[in-house]
């Protein structure tokens, strides 16, 4: 708890000392993607579901907002102020999470991974083919985000602090939820579904609700990413970005929600500076190899490495 | 005219289903024995297609009549070797850790897609099969229909029959079926299960490679096709039932037909039809239409 608050204070003060590029394009972006990754870490750590639908849920929020808000190009509905569009978008993301949960609830493990991947790719292909609601391949541009205290969302500090505040609140929410009776039942289901069932809990409902919460979290991240990119395209919810979320979560470590942010930060640093380390065009090879290396060497990610290192010292 | 359009759509669905069956049967075979969800199955498809093309093209330029057949052989061999290497180097020793295996194959598919892009570039390519397979055939009541699409159905039927014979009439098939039921017991009986696994992986990967060349002859292929065929394989085996050849055939038929009928009736929403089928099957029969309960 104290460590978390200290970290939050440090992250709050940090933009005063670093260039704006770092504030928005590295830390801010890492936090926004970290929120999407935390949605997966929450499901995986406490529910035992490794899902590939996180980017899709975030994309649902992004697309709903893009369709509704004023000034987006092309304007499909338009005219709905951000104060209304953002909650509607989050509601839609939560609903998509509940729906995915309802479809996937009877499956587990790799089946769940396959089904969520299939759903995510289906949504991606649908968005790419549909002109009426998604503007097809080009997606929707000029989704600038709300003004905060008279400053545009694009301002590095506004974006950074909005992302940081969302991340802190959602992080606290996850840590709170897993201590509630609901969270305890969820962890019980992960460890021994039969026994929890026998105690009279409704397993399917708990799982669906967990997906709903994951949808809400991913929706928050998806909105931030959409505002950061000033729009949304089908490409941003394709296989690459879908897998990237899993890569971030696994690199950081599926064991604690903080792992998602560690993974997202490492990923973003790679994404930004890989060009200096290695052939610019072969970024994906590098990411793929790093991912492979981590899965092969330390399935529990950086967190696992840290845990083993401290255990070895004792 | 209406009637013949319906027949054409149905025939298109059937030929698409044939291609899906060839690719997905390999996926299903690997899953059946090893419980490995091979997320690099689309990459195997693309490896088969590109390597097959690399062998095919110079021969085709020299007018060798066997260029296409050499391409088929090379595509199958390349995918099989790639799959073999994957199983031998990465997946074999983590047998039983299903999720980790899936993650490893995701990593492989990321690297493979990027390296294929580096080596072969982003331009679409297409095989030209020999004239005997490529022209148009006069079908009664329908008119001219691309011969190669009929060949596609023939290949799928041959693959299906071959797999059935292999699984039900050979020693290897016996071991595979026993391994699906009880892997540990099979090991205890003295069968070298890792070796059987390697053979099955090579076979499944080779089928993906075969699909790559066949699919690349029916229509152009390029980067990104790997995603489409991974997705299709996933949906086909989820719908049909994991590890069952007949289930894969049923799944491929349903998905192929749904795609073509959807495209004919409501073009931009056709993807949804496929996923409605998947969701319905999952809701009613989570193990798939012909799958056995886990």
Burial class (CB in 10 A: 0-12, 13-18, 19+), B80: buried
In a domain, A160, yes or no: yes
Say whether pLDDT at A180 is over 80. yes
Of the candidates A101, A130, A281, which has an alpha carbon nearest to the alpha carbon of residue A207?
A101
Q: Is residue B140 situated within a structural domain?
A: yes
Q: What's the pLDDT tens digit per position in A31-78? A: 999 999 999 999 999 998 899 999 999 999 999 999 999 888 888 888
Do residues A314 and B143 make contact, with C-beta atoms less than 8 angstroms apart?
no
Q: What is the pLDDT of residue B89?
A: 92
Residue of B nearest to A110 (CA): B99
pTM for the whole structure: 0.88
Domain extent for B22: 3-225
| B276, part of any domain | no
For A241-274, write each residue's pLDDT tens digit: 998 899 899 889 888 999 999 999 998 988 888 7
Q: State yes or no: pLDDT of B1 exceeds 60.
A: no
> What is the C-alpha separation between A49 and B145, in angstroms, rounded?
47
To the nearest whole number, what is the mean pLDDT of chain B? 89
Residue A130 has what pLDDT? 86
* Residue B244 lies inside a defined structural domain of this protein: no
Average model confidence (pLDDT) across chain A: 90
Task: For residue A101, give the 3-state DSSP assignment.
Answer: helix
pLDDT of A118 over the 60 cut = yes
In this predicted structure, the answer to whether residue B192 has a pLDDT above a threshold of 60 is yes
Contact across the interface for A129 and B268, Cβ inside 8 Å: yes
Closest Cα to residue B228, out of B80, B11, B24, B34?
B24
Which whole number is the average pLDDT over A122-145?
Answer: 88
Identity of the residue in A103, A282, A291 whose CB atom sits nearest the CB atom of B114: A282
Burial of A6 (0-12, 13-18, 19+ CB in 10 A): exposed
In a domain, B258, yes or no: no
Mutate to test the interface with B, among A50, A101, A117 (most CBs of B within 10 A): A117
Residue A178 lies in a domain: yes
Residue B142 confidence (pLDDT) above 90: no
Res. B271 pLDDT band, cuts 50 70 90: confident
| Residue A295: exposure state from Cβ atoms within 10 A (0-12, 13-18, ≥19) | buried
Q: What is the pLDDT of residues B38-86, one digit of tens each?
A: 999 999 999 999 999 999 999 999 988 899 999 999 999 999 999 999 9
- Residue B35: its pLDDT value, please? 81
Which chain A residues contact residue B235 at CB under 8 A?
118
Is B281 in the A-facing interface, judged by CB distances under 8 Å? no
What integer pLDDT is reported at residue A290 of this predicted model? Answer: 84
The 3-class secondary structure across B25-84, one letter per residue, is HHHHHHHHHHCCCCCCHHHHHHHHHHHHHHHHHHHHHCCCCCHHHHHHHHHHHHHHHHHH
> Cβ contact (<8 Å) for B282 and A288?
no
Three-class SS of residue A148?
A: strand
> Domain of A71?
2-251
Query: Which chain B residues have a beta carbon less than 8 Å from that of A115?
Result: 234, 238, 278, 282
Does residue B104 sit at the A interface (CB-CB below 8 Å)? yes
For residue A220, what pLDDT band results from cuts at 50, 70 and 90?
very high
Q: Is residue A210 part of a domain?
A: yes
Judged against a pLDDT cut of 60, whether residue B156 lies above it is answered with yes
pLDDT at A298: 76
Has residue B282 been placed in a domain?
Answer: no
Counting the structural domains of chain A, the total is 1
- So what's the pLDDT on residue A90? 97
Backbone angles phi, psi at B221, to 5 degrees: -125, 155
Q: How many domains does chain B have?
A: 1
Residue B4 in this model has a pLDDT that exceeds 90:
no
pLDDT on residue A308:
82
Report pLDDT for B294. 57
Where does residue A151 fall: left (phi above 0), alpha (psi -120 to 50 degrees), or beta otherwise?
beta
């Amino acid at each position: 708890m104290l460590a978390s608050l200290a970290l939050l204070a440090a992250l709050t003060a940090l933009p005063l000392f670093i260039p704006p590029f770092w504030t928005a394009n590295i830390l801010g972006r890492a936090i926004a993607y970290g929120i999407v990754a935390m949605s997966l870490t929450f499901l995986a750590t406490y529910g035992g579901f490794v899902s590939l639908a996180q980017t899709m849920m975030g994309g649902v929020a992004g697309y709903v907002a893009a369709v509704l808000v004023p000034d987006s190009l092309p304007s499909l509905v338009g005219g709905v102020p951000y104060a209304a569009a953002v909650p509607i978008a989050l509601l839609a993301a939560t609903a998509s999470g509940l729906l995915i949960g309802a479809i996937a609830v009877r499956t587990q493990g790799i089946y769940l991974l396959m089904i969520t991947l299939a759903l995510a790719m289906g949504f991606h292909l649908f968005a790419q083919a549909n002109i009426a609601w998604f503007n097809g391949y080009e997606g929707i541009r000029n989704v600038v985000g709300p003004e905060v205290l008279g400053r545009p969302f694009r301002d590095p500090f506004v974006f950074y602090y909005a992302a940081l505040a969302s991340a802190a609140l959602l992080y606290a929410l996850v840590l709170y939820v897993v201590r509630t009776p609901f969270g305890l039942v969820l962890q019980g289901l992960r460890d021994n579904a039969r026994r929890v069932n026998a105690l009279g809990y409704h397993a399917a409902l708990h799982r669906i609700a967990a997906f709903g919460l994951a949808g809400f979290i991913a929706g928050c991240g998806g909105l931030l990413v959409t505002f950061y990119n000033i729009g949304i395209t089908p490409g941003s919810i394709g296989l690459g970005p879908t897998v990237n979320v899993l890569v971030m979560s696994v690199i950081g470590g599926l064991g604690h929600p903080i792992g998602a942010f560690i993974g997202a930060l490492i990923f973003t640093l790679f994404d930004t500076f890989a060009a200096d380390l290695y052939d610019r065009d072969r970024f994906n090879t590098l990411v793929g190899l790093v991912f492979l290396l981590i899965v092969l060497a330390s399935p529990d990610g950086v967190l696992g490495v840290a845990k083993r290192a401290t255990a070895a010292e004792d | 005219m209406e009637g013949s359009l319906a027949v054409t759509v149905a025939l298109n669905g059937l030929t698409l289903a044939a291609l899906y069956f060839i690719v997905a049967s390999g996926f299903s075979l690997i899953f059946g024995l090893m419980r490995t969800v091979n997320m690099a199955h689309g990459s195997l498809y693309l490896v088969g297609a590109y390597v097959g093309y690399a062998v095919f093209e110079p021969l085709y330029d020299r007018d060798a009549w066997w260029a296409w057949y050499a391409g088929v052989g090379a595509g199958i061999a390349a995918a099989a070797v790639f799959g073999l290497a994957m199983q031998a180097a990465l997946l074999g020793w983590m047998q039983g850790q299903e999720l980790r295996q899936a993650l490893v194959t995701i990593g492989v598919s990321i690297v493979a897609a990027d390296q294929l892009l580096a080596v072969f570039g982003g331009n679409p390519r297409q095989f030209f099969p020999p004239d005997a397979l490529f022209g148009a055939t006069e079908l009664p009541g329908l008119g001219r229909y691309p011969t190669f699409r009929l060949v596609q159905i023939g290949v799928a039927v041959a693959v299906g029959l071959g797999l059935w014979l292999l699984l039900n009439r050979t020693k290897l098939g016996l071991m595979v079926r026993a391994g699906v039921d009880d892997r540990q017991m099979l090991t205890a009986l003295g069968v070298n299960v890792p070796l059987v696994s390697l053979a099955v992986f090579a076979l499944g990967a080779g089928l993906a490679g075969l699909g790559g060349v066949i699919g690349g002859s029916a229509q152009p292929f390029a980067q990104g096709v790997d995603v489409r065929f991974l997705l299709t394989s996933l949906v086909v085996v989820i719908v049909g039932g994991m590890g069952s050849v007949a289930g894969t055939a049923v799944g491929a038929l349903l998905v192929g037909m749904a795609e073509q009928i959807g495209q004919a009736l409501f073009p931009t929403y056709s993807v949804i039809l496929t996923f409605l089928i998947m969701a319905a099957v999952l809701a009613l029969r989570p193990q798939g239409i012909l799958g056995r309960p886990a």
